[in-house]
Amino acid sequence: MAGVKASTVTAVVHTRLVHDTHRRASTVLAEAAADPAASATALAELRDFLVVHLDSHHKSEDDVLWPMIEERAPGAAEPLARLSGEHDQLEAALEALAAAPIDEPGRTALVAAAVAVRDLVHVHLEHEEPVLLPALSEHISDEAWDDFARQVRATTPGVGAHLLVGFLDQVGTPEDVEIILRDMPAPVRAELREQAQETLGRLTAAG
């Protein structure tokens, strides 16, 4: 984390964790969709989680975070607009994923839609992070980030909360995960972690 101002470490760590969660969740879905042994119910849980959370995440960036950054760094407007264009592409891919039947023999449409979303997510984040992470480090204070994070928590649907916790545990250190889950009571976290392990276990042949 060298070079990142102390006052903005929270924003950078939070963003990296969320992005890594999206990378991981989209990868797991693409792989599980192609696994005949994967539970249809677990696939539906993961698919719905990914669709809802990606859509909500991108809307929060386009509607709230991008204007916040542009107000403090006017030169960021053009690259952020390009990223919003990629959000539009992802929205179309998410609509196809949401519509893909899970009980179709071979799950052909689901596999194709999940792979498309995974590939778009990974490429998009390769484009976004070199723009967004320095902007957060240089221009967004802890107070501004906390206000944004509160808005996100208030507007993000609760779909798949257990999977959010489960994937955060996979991609982050306990200290980093605490930044995002610090307001969640420990018993609730424990229950969601157990639920996530059960769901993710049913997505593999070993589960």
Structure confidence by residue, pLDDT tens digits, 146-167: 999 999 988 888 899 999 999 9
User: DSSP for 47-64?
Assistant: HHHHHHHHHHHHHHIIII
Q: How far apart are CA 54 and CA 63, in angstroms?
A: 14
176-200: average pLDDT: 94
Question: pLDDT band for position 137 (50/70/90)?
Answer: very high
**What angle, rounded to 10 degrees, do the helices at 108-139 and 77-99 form?**
160
Q: Is 153 exposed, middle or buried (0-12, 13-18, 19+ CB in 10 A)?
A: exposed
What is the spatial distance between Cα 80 and Cα 131, in angstroms, rounded to a whole number?
Answer: 8
pLDDT confidence bin for 9, thresholds 50/70/90: confident
For residue range 91-123, what is the model confidence (pLDDT) as tens digits?
999 999 999 999 999 999 999 999 999 999 999
In which band, very low, low, confident or very high, does the pLDDT at 3 lie, cut at 50, 70 and 90?
A: very low
